[in-house]
Amino acid sequence: METKTATVSVLSSEQLLKHWQGHRNLTRRTIEAFPEKELFTFSVGGMRTFAQLAMEIIDLSNPGILGLVTNVWKDMADLPHHSGVGMPTTKEELLALWDETTKVIDTLWIQMTPERFQESTIAFGQYPGPVYGTLLYFIDNEIHHRGQGYVYLRALGIEPPFFWERP
Amino acid sequence: METKTATVSVLSSEQLLKHWQGHRNLTRRTIEAFPEKELFTFSVGGMRTFAQLAMEIIDLSNPGILGLVTNVWKDMADLPHHSGVGMPTTKEELLALWDETTKVIDTLWIQMTPERFQESTIAFGQYPGPVYGTLLYFIDNEIHHRGQGYVYLRALGIEPPFFWERP
């Protein structure tokens, strides 16, 4: 199998999956670092709680990965972090959704052809762009909100996990 | 020019440069959003100020891009965010260093061959990994710390720039 153009060459699909799941592992440990109560109640500067930020990450990743692979997107308004319907109320529930998402990503990723990354899609029926760009947006959005979770943890006197550790 | 393996196919060198510079544009606007005084004095939870975080981002990006391109790395201990030597003391100085870095990245990027991304390097003489991984680390680290800057801004009652806007 050949790539379509000579300049499309930074990293492989497998490397990007490993990169994403490495970040997801770190975010999972960030969720775990929160005390149960503060996960659902604490924030800084009137922002959302880390449970809400984590649920946004889950919502983008799954069903997002289905949209990336198949172009079938759910409506953003129906997702738990928007609608409130299906929002977890315990850390255990949140982590279970997280782990389910990890499996869905691994399963659907197999269907991502090398050509797919350069194709166009309209994420959640609203945001047009190339598949690689949408995927990077999901990852970047996760890093962005997790970084905010690190501030919440520091404000609570809790040391966050090491940023560079992505087992 | 052909790529080395069929699976290396997610995005092109030009697309990654545009992605990085788009993030850098957003971070620049985040620096600008801080009042001069709070940029150098304010933080949450005993963390570093946003000027210090921004200087770390500059230090990784430049001279980092030189290391990515040539394998010639500076010693981390000598960089301003570590040593304190050369730390800017005004927003204007910080933004000038930012803009200089933007130009250096654009200039040196031209030397990044398609093969280079999969080669190995030892970032700052300490952190071994593939070039694409080191580069993603720089970008991720920027997103991570900028997200923290967003919390500082919110805590100061200031609305941060839109995360999705990367002109």
How many Cβ atoms are within 10 Å of B48's Cβ, its own excluded? 14
pLDDT in tens, A107-133: 999 999 989 999 999 999 999 999 999
Residue B1 near residue A9, CB atoms below 8 Å: no
Given an 8 Å threshold on Cβ–Cβ distance, is A14 in contact with B7?
A: yes
> Using a CB-CB distance cutoff of 8 angstroms, which residues of chain B are in contact with residue A156?
45
| Cα A143 from chain centroid (whole Å) | 8
Contact B159/B153 with Cβ under 8 angstroms? Answer: yes
CB contact under 8 A, A154 and B45: yes
pLDDT at A7 over 50: no
Q: Report ipTM (2 d.p.).
A: 0.94
Give all domains of chain A, ordered by start, each with its CATH number. Answer: 13-155 (1.20.120.450)
Strand extents, DSSP E, chain A: 120-123, 127-130
Q: Which of A111, A16, A24 is nearest to A60 (CA)?
A: A24
Q: What pLDDT sits at residue B114?
A: 87
DSSP secondary structure letter of residue B167: -
Mean per-residue pLDDT for A58-85? Answer: 93
Strands A127-130 and B120-123: unpaired
A155 with B19: Cβ contact below 8 A: no
pLDDT (tens, 9 = 90+) of chain B, 167 residues, equals 444 444 457 999 999 999 999 999 999 999 999 999 999 999 999 999 999 999 999 999 999 999 999 999 999 888 999 888 889 999 999 999 999 999 999 999 999 998 999 999 999 999 999 999 999 999 999 999 999 999 999 999 999 999 998 87
To the nearest whole angstrom, how far is the Cα of A112 from the nearest Cα of chain B?
A: 10
Burial class from Cβ neighbours inside 10 Å (0-12, 13-18, 19+) for residue B87 reads middle
Asked whether the beta carbons of residue B144 and residue A140 sit closer than 8 angstroms, the reply is no
Mean pLDDT across the stretch A60-66? 96
Quick one: closest CA in B to A49, which residue?
A: B151
Average predicted confidence (pLDDT) for chain A: 93
Q: Taken in order A71, A76, A81, A84, is the CA torsion positive or negative?
A: negative
Largest CA distance in chain B: 52
Mean pLDDT across A62-90: 93
A147, B143 contact by CB (below 8 A)? yes
* Nearest by CB: A10 against B117, B143, B163: B117
Model pLDDT, residue A98:
98
CB contact under 8 A, B137 and A164: yes
| Helices H / strands E in chain B, number of each | 7, 2
Cβ of A6 and B10 within 8 Å? Answer: no
Q: Who among B6, B147, B151 is closest to A3 (CB)?
A: B6
